[in-house]
């Protein structure tokens, strides 16, 4: 076993503690984890096992391998405290950090430095990863500030006034940056009054615990972090959170001021470059980190090695050592917290961290010397010591008594010199005290100037009269602002309501417009139907006309037959009939013919007398005359009607095309506009949107009005065309009249056509009376036509 033995150092100016973090999920294999670290139950000692060639052992043999003492070397260390894997944030704070905070409150400078490989829990220990005041994950920084504020509140001595300030900085690539304010790179300065300090670093007055989280959040967001193989959120920078507590106590003998500073240092990962597999810029970065960590090691080495009365301490070799000069110089209560991982992979780094921490224990020549090193070295050291002691004893026993007296005389002389030195030091101190009084005075003035930011101890802040009156003022202001806001909101609500009403109105209007459009479309459809009907009727007329023409042709033939009969009976052909035949070949009137033929057929040819012939001649002349007139009129009317109908048809057709085009454009535009309105209405109902809707609606209304007018006019025109007589007064009246006439004449003609000529023989009296009846009805009908 390798012993790093020694007494537990009991130096309250420098404490070294170790925290072993629990294994991470990635370090646990098949639910099993082999720890290289074992913490003693007294939490003062720890052993780290160096398993030989463990990487060559198969997984299944591991348990057996690690339990065999011949397979490992044991290193044992003793520290002020060792936190095992299951330690809580609260335990770490209460047992270690709280002492530093107490020192700060007593007016000391205290520092807590977190050291260790990336991913071992430095940031977790210093910050914790929570901004919730009630979380058990809170780290040392928030807990320290909570503790300071509790102290201020609980302090029974109300004559003490406190002021708490915070700063947060980062050292990255040897550049110092303010983490609480955007600023260029900062420099370290030193003066007699303030000692070592960062020039222009912002300090923020913290008035309550709530403000801590704001500052931490702000600072953490600015920290330079990057991914490495070891830990994805590893920080490659050193971060220092500084809490300054100033306090003035009023006593009977006068005022006394105290200033305590608490530095909370989260160092960058202590691992070597090759461990993180860095290259390029990252390599440079790691070198700088290594450089600053080596400087830290050198400073500690210089402090711990006995190099005479005034040894050179290389604080200036890096920014971090320069900044921590106070903390490492001995006039500060410093706590080293070294973090290690218990994983086998991390063994090398864990051991080197423990050695570093062990070395740090000896800062300021503490009476306890704890060495690290193997057993052989220790033994050699013991041997050398024994040899040295033996030599000294021999030399002393050889020395004569006279020499001893001389030596005593020398020592006496030296003691006198020391006394004189002490006296001058005392005088110097008195001078310093005077200066200190002056300084206190100035401080007092400064504190009274910063009165607004002061916190009164021994009393809850909210109970002080200043606080109460400020609170009341603030409340009045808030109430007034609240009222104003309410009025504003009410106004806004009303305007929204109005806008809504307007929108509803427009909606209604739109609906109405839509209904009108539907109605118009229906009417247009009706009109189209009417046109179709008219077209059909026209076709019927045409058909009827053709039939009429056929009939006329037939009658022409019959007239000719008639003529023949006249010739046969040697009756002179009336002039009328001849004219008729010649002039009006197309206007052959078959109806009369039909009638006459029927008549002739019903009278036996032998019974015809001259009287009868004359009578018959007159009758035919009369009937033919009549018929010619009617036919003339009928043909003229029909021509007129056809022309008129053709014209109307064209007009309607054109109207229809034009209207369809206009309608399509209008409907398309209206639809787009409605889409836009709906889009505005469904999106956020802002004032702007409602304004747009109103505008859009106005436009739409105008568009519809303009667009609908021609349609209305067309429709009106159509209606006036169908109903009124202003445009072509006789058109429809004529058509209707012709329609009736046509219907009548058609019916008549059909009837007449059905009256087939009877055979000339076997004419019975009954048949004769039937004929008369028919003749009469035909005459009546013609009369009607
Ligand atoms: P470092 O700052 O040293 O690089 P972190 O503080 O970022 O390491 O810790 C690395 C990871 O380990 C984090 O996920 C952290 O939550 C976890 N961790 C570290 N220490 C502890 C602990 N004592 N208990 C629980 N988790 C821890
Ligand atoms: Mg970290």
Quote the CA–CA distance of 268 and 115 in Å, as a whole number: 8
Q: Which amino acid residue places its CA nearest to atom 18 of ligand 1?
A: 121
Say whether 123 counts as a known binding-site residue: yes
pLDDT tens, residue by residue, 439-484: 878 877 776 666 656 666 555 556 667 777 888 888 888 888 888 9
Q: What is the 3-state secondary structure (H, E, C) of 714-726?
A: HHHHHHHHHCCCC
Q: How confident is the model at residue 154 (pLDDT cuts 50, 70, 90)?
A: confident
pLDDT tens, residue by residue, 318-344: 999 999 887 776 567 889 999 999 999
Alpha helices in 34-184 (DSSP H): 62-66, 89-92, 98-105, 122-126, 140-154
- Strand positions, DSSP E, 267-354: 333-340
User: Mapping DSSP to helix (H, G, I), strand (E, B) and coil, where does residue 283 land?
Assistant: helix
Best substitution site from 20, 119, 129, 340 to test ligand 1's pocket, by max atoms within 8 Å of Cβ?
A: 119
pLDDT tens, residue by residue, 617-640: 566 567 667 767 776 777 787 788
Quote the CA–CA distance of 715 and 521 in Å, as a whole number: 10
> Of 383-397, 415-429, 577-591, which has the strongest mean pLDDT?
415-429
440 burial (CB, 10 Å; 0-12 / 13-18 / 19+) is: middle
Q: How confident is the model at residue 108 (pLDDT cuts 50, 70, 90)?
A: confident
Say whether 128 counts as a known binding-site residue: no
Quote the CA–CA distance of 314 and 450 in Å, as a whole number: 38
Angle between helices 765-784 and 590-602 (to 10 degrees): 160
Q: How confident is the model at residue 25 (pLDDT cuts 50, 70, 90)?
A: confident
Residues with Cβ < 8 Å from 290, sequence gap 6 or more?
272, 273
Residue pair 248/301 in contact (Cβ under 8 Å)? The answer is no
Average pLDDT over residues 60-77: 88
In this structure, the strands spanning 195-198 and 188-191 are antiparallel
Quote the CA–CA distance of 120 and 234 in Å, as a whole number: 10
Residue pair 590/551 in contact (Cβ under 8 Å)? The answer is yes
Q: What is the DSSP letter of 208?
A: S
Residue pair 268/282 in contact (Cβ under 8 Å)? The answer is no
Burial 94-109 (b: 16+ CB within 10 A, else e): eebbebbbebbbeebb
Quote the CA–CA distance of 588 and 560 in Å, as a whole number: 11
Quote the CA–CA distance of 537 and 543 in Å, as a whole number: 10
Quote the CA–CA distance of 143 and 209 in Å, as a whole number: 9
**CB of 718 sitting under 6 A from ligand 1:** no
Residues with Cβ < 8 Å from 707, sequence gap 6 or more?
662, 665, 666, 669, 670
Q: Which ligand is nearest to the CA of 85?
A: 1
CA nearest neighbour of 784 among 754, 735, 749:
749
Say whether 335 counts as a known binding-site residue: no
| pLDDT recorded at residue 660 | 81
**CB of 123 sitting under 6 A from ligand 1:** yes
**CB of 21 sitting under 6 A from ligand 1:** yes
Q: What is the DSSP letter of 95?
A: I
User: Mapping DSSP to helix (H, G, I), strand (E, B) and coil, where does residue 255 land?
Assistant: strand
Residue pair 142/133 in contact (Cβ under 8 Å)? The answer is yes
CA nearest neighbour of 338 among 548, 128, 126:
126
* C-alpha distances out from residue 667 to 518, 664, 673, 679, 696, Å: 11, 5, 10, 18, 15
Residue pair 171/323 in contact (Cβ under 8 Å)? The answer is yes
* Least confident range of 572-581, 607-616, 673-682: 607-616
Average pLDDT over residues 556-567: 82
The residue count for the chain: 785
Q: Which amino acid residue places its CA nearest to atom 20 of ligand 1?
A: 121
Quote the CA–CA distance of 593 and 278 in Å, as a whole number: 127
Q: What is the DSSP letter of 568?
A: H
**Predicted TM-score of the model (pTM):** 0.51
Give the end-to-end CA distance of the chain in Å, rounded to a whole number. 145
CA 34 to centroid of ligand 1, rounded, Å: 19
237 burial (CB, 10 Å; 0-12 / 13-18 / 19+) is: buried
User: What average pLDDT does the structure give for the chain?
Assistant: 75
Strand partners, 247: 162, 258
Quote the CA–CA distance of 20 and 370 in Å, as a whole number: 20
CA 120 to centroid of ligand 2, rounded, Å: 8
Q: Which two tokens stand for residue 464?
A: 């002080």
Q: Which two tokens stand for residue 31?
A: 């639910």
Strand partners, 197: 189
In this structure, the strands spanning 45-51 and 37-39 are antiparallel
Q: How many helices (H) and strands (E) does the chain have?
A: 20, 16
* C-alpha distances out from residue 101 to 142, 244, 262, 684, Å: 12, 11, 7, 54
pLDDT tens, residue by residue, 717-743: 444 434 433 444 444 444 445 445 544
Best substitution site from 17, 35, 124, 130 to test ligand 1's pocket, by max atoms within 8 Å of Cβ?
A: 124
pLDDT tens, residue by residue, 255-314: 777 788 899 999 988 876 554 566 677 677 767 777 888 888 888 878 777 666 677 888
**H helix or E strand, kind and range, residue 710:** helix 687-722
Average pLDDT over residues 535-560: 86
Quote the CA–CA distance of 122 and 239 in Å, as a whole number: 11
User: Mapping DSSP to helix (H, G, I), strand (E, B) and coil, where does residue 332 land?
Assistant: coil
Quote the CA–CA distance of 127 and 87 in Å, as a whole number: 16
Q: Locate tokens 């179709």: which residue?
A: 532
| pLDDT recorded at residue 785 | 37
CA nearest neighbour of 266 among 54, 74, 114, 70:
114
């Amino acid at each position: 076993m390798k012993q790093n033995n020694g007494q537990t150092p009991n130096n309250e100016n420098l404490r070294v503690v170790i925290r072993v973090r629990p294994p991470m999920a990635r370090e646990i294999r098949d639910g099993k984890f082999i720890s290289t670290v074992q913490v003693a139950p007294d939490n003062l000692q720890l052993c780290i096992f160096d398993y030989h060639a463990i990487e060559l052992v198969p997984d299944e043999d591991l348990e057996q391998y690690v339990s065999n003492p011949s397979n490992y070397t044991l290193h044992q260390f003793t520290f002020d405290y060792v936190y095992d894997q299951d330690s809580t944030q609260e335990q770490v704070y209460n047992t270690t950090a709280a002492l530093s905070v107490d020192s700060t409150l007593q007016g000391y400078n205290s520092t807590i430095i977190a050291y260790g490989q990336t991913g071992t829990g430095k940031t977790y220990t210093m910050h914790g990863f929570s901004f919730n005041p009630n979380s058990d994950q809170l780290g040392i920084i928030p807990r320290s500030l909570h503790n300071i504020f509790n102290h201020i509140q609980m302090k029974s001595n109300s004559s003490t006034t406190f002021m708490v300030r915070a700063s947060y900085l980062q050292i990255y690539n040897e550049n110092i940056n303010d983490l609480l304010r955007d600023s260029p790179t900062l420099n370290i300065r030193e003066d007699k009054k303030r000692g070592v300090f960062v020039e222009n670093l912002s300090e923020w007055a913290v008035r309550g615990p709530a403000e801590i989280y704001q500052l931490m959040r702000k600072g953490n967001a600015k920290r330079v972090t990057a991914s490495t193989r070891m830990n994805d959120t590893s920080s490659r920078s050193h971060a220092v959170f500084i809490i300054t507590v100033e306090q003035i106590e009023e006593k009977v003998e006068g005022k006394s001021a105290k200033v305590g500073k608490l530095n909370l240092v989260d160092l960058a990962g202590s691992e070597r470059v090759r461990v993180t597999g860095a290259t390029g810029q990252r390599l440079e970065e790691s070198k700088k980190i290594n450089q600053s960590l080596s400087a830290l090691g050198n400073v500690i080495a210089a402090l711990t090695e006995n190099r005479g009365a005034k040894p050179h301490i290389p604080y200036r070799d890096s920014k971090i050592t320069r900044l921590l000069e106070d903390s490492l110089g001995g006039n500060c209560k410093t706590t080293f917290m070294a973090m290690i991982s218990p994983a086998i992979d991390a063994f090398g780094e864990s051991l080197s961290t423990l050695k570093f921490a062990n070395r740090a224990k000896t800062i300021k020549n503490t009476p306890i010397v704890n060495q690290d090193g193997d057993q052989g070295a220790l033994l050699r050291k013991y041997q050398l010591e024994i040899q040295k002691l033996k030599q000294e004893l021999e030399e002393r026993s050889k020395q004569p008594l006279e020499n001893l007296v001389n030596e005593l005389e020398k020592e006496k002389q030296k003691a006198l010199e020391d006394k004189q030195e002490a006296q001058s030091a005392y005088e110097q101190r008195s001078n310093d005290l005077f200066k200190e009084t002056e300084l206190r005075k100035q401080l007092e003035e400064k504190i009274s100037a910063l009165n607004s930011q002061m916190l009164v101890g021994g009393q809850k802040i909210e109970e002080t009269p200043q606080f109460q009156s400020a609170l009341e003022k603030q409340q009045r202001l808030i109430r007034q602002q609240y009222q104003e806001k309410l009025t504003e909101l009410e106004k806004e609500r009303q305007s929204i309501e109005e806008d809504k009403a307007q929108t509803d109105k427009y909606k209604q209007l739109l609906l109405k417009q839509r209904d009108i459009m539907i109605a118009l479309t229906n009417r247009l459809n009706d009109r189209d139907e009417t046109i179709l009907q008219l077209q059909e009727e026209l076709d019927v007329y045409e058909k009827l006309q053709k039939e009429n023409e056929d009939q006329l042709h037939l009658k022409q033939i019959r007239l000719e037959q008639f003529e023949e009969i006249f010739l046969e009976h040697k009756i002179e052909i009336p002039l009328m009939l001849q004219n008729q035949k010649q002039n009006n070949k197309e206007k052959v009137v078959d109806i009369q013919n039909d009638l006459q033929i029927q008549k002739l057929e019903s009278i036996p040819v032998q019974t015809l007398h001259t009287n009868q012939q004359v009578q018959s001649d007159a009758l035919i002349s009369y009937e033919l005359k009549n018929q010619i007139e009617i036919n003339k009129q009928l043909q003229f009317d029909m021509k007129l009607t056809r022309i008129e109908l053709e014209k109307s048809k064209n007009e309607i057709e054109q109207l229809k095309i034009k209207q369809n085009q206009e309608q399509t454009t209008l409907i398309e535009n209206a639809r787009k506009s409605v889409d836009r309105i709906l889009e505005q209405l469904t999106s956020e109902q802002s004032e702007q949107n409602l304004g747009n809707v109103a505008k859009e609606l106005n436009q739409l209304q105008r568009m519809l009005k303009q667009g609908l007018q021609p349609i209305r006019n067309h429709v009106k025109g159509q209606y006036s065309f169908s109903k009124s007589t202003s445009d072509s007064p006789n058109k429809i009246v004529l058509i209707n009249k012709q329609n009736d006439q046509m219907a009548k004449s058609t019916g008549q003609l059909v009837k007449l056509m059905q009256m087939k000529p009877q055979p000339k023989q076997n004419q019975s009296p009954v048949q004769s009376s039937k004929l008369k009846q028919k003749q009469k009805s035909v005459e009546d009908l013609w009369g009607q036509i």
